[in-house]
Amino acid sequence: NLYHFISKYSRIIIMGAGVYANTIAKQLYYHKIDFDSFVISNNQPLNKRYLGKDVWKLRQLPANKENIGVIIGINPTKWLEIMLALEEAKVKNFICPFLFDFPINEE
């Protein structure tokens, strides 16, 4: 399901910049699947690079988000915080492989 999700978007971004995001990035690297960058919530401290990729705040995502697929790489115990941040940023195309094995809110 994750591969199918990735194949539908021209840009893939991993949300998070910690242990869970690292695990997803390693899986993508292992399968030779490229992704654009990492994104974090607006209230998180910003490190400009993580694992050799740029890190952005959610508010820095382009207005046209239809071609962006976001893979949630954050501990699912923070699900409410994640959902609120995505809703505020108007991100609708995302998947959380640690919590669900299918896309959520995908239009």
Helix or strand run (H / E) with residue 57: strand 53-57
Does pLDDT of 9 surpass 60? Answer: yes
For residue range 26-41, list pLDDT tens digits in order.
999 999 999 999 999 8
Any residues with CB less than 8 A from the CB of 21 and at least 6 apart, and which?
14, 15, 38, 50, 73, 74
pLDDT at 100: 57
3-state DSSP assignment of residue 87: helix
For residue range 57-82, list pLDDT tens digits in order.
999 887 788 899 999 999 888 888 89
How remote is the C-alpha of 42 from its chain's centroid? 14
1 vs 37, higher pLDDT: 37
